Amino acid sequence: GSGAEVGAGAWPPLREELRGIEPYGAPQLDVPYALNVNENPYAPPAACVADIAESVARAAETLNRYPDREFVELRAALAAYLSRDVAPGQAPVAPEQVWAANGSNEVMLQLLQAFGGPGRTALSFAPTYSMYPEYARDTHTAWVAGRRAEDFTLDLDAARAAVGEHRPSVVLLPSPNNPTGTALSPEAVDVLCGAVGDDGVVVVDEAYGEFRRAGTPSALELLPVHRNLVVTRTMSKAFAGAGLRLGYLAAHPAIADAIRVVRLPYHLSATTQAVALAALRHADALLGQVDALRGERDTLVDWLRAQGHDVADSDANFVLFGRFADRHAVWQGLLERGVLIRETGPEGWLRVSVGTPEEMAAFRDALTIVTKENQ
């Protein structure tokens, strides 16, 4: 027959382990207050938009040609930007330490393609970003998830033991972690890099790195010490560029170089490169918006705690809070009031992205009503 059927003769002839799996992604609902996918609520400033438009127009003039496969100019701009986050006295990040792709999702898939694979293992610590097991699945890499401590930090003895037991080729450590917002201490990164050694790479996923609280250093500071360390970033969050699809990493030049073997030729389009370069020229204005969001985040954490909720410490642009006997009812109640958040994380917890003051007021009002109804 022509329909999709279950069983041995199922069609289309998908890989066995992919059959029946729902594609990853939060519901894209049209709601007044979308606080569910950790986007930056502020559009790029007008001067940045104008610069992007002009840059795209210039790129359009040579669209008959393939783009710069090595995106040399963009690598240099990303390296210069990352160098803001290295320790005093540390060498700046060099362009040959940088790699980029279409979102940090693609960067991480490429890392798994290059350093994972059949017979190899990727290790993370749950709760953690739900895409990681998918990268592992899609690259035929074995997937192992250890546990985080009750307060969502890493138990370093347990983490070291997990590395010893599973000998991972790739360790995936989001910092700040999604969905908990928990940042890793430099000691934790140091211990894991030491435990993994030359058998693997340790990926510190700093997708939300720019939102970390004062006094929390970036893992970029440890690059000179550990050649197996990879720090990934994205322009989706701090740079208000979720629609741009530009993620990147900094690592030892040999690691950046190795990824070139698995990337598709010309994977970064000329328009992507032009838009990313233009956005980077407006880093200061964009980071000003990040500062405002960090303040809004801290206010939100305080308010939720004052209401009696459990709240995970957050170094990100979202907050995990709970715990609810029926979290789905709370999620649904908020949605009925136009506020869409994310039903994710350990049982009983919910995650809300930090929005504008107006969006946060709408969230607070709705949650106040909904929690009363669900008591």
User: Contact positions toward ligand PMP, by CB under 6 A?
Assistant: 38, 103-105, 129, 174, 178, 205, 207, 234, 236, 242, 247
Q: By C-beta, is 134 or 190 nearer to ligand PMP?
A: 134
Q: How far is the CB of 4 from ligand PMP (least distance, A)?
A: 29
Q: How many CB atoms lie within 10 A of CB 187?
A: 10
DSSP string, 12-32: S---GGGTTPPPP-------S
Residues 6+ apart with CB under 8 A from 219: 175, 184, 186, 189, 204, 206, 229, 231
* Cβ-contact 245, 230 below 8 angstroms: no
Q: Which is nearer to ligand PMP, 141 or 175 (CB)?
A: 175
Q: Whole-number minimum distance, CB 90 to ligand PMP, in Å?
A: 24
Q: To the nearest whole angstrom, how small is the minimum distance from the Cβ of residue 131 to ligand PMP?
A: 7
Least separation in angstroms between CB 102 and ligand PMP: 8
Determine contact, residues 347/128, Cβ cutoff 8 Å.
Answer: no
What is the C-alpha separation between 155 and 57, in angstroms, rounded? 51
Nearer to ligand PMP among residue 24 and residue 66 (C-beta): 24
Q: Which is nearer to ligand PMP, 31 or 242 (CB)?
A: 242
Output 40 or 121, the one with its CB closest to ligand PMP. 40
**C-beta of residue 170 within 8 angstroms of C-beta of residue 154:** no
Q: Which is nearer to ligand PMP, 48 or 276 (CB)?
A: 276
C-alpha 159: how far from chain center: 21
Minimum CB distance to ligand PMP, residue 372 (Å)? 31
* Nearest residue (beta carbon) to ligand PMP: 103
Cα–Cα distance, 265 to 135 (Å, whole number):
20
- Cβ 136 to ligand PMP, closest distance in Å? 14
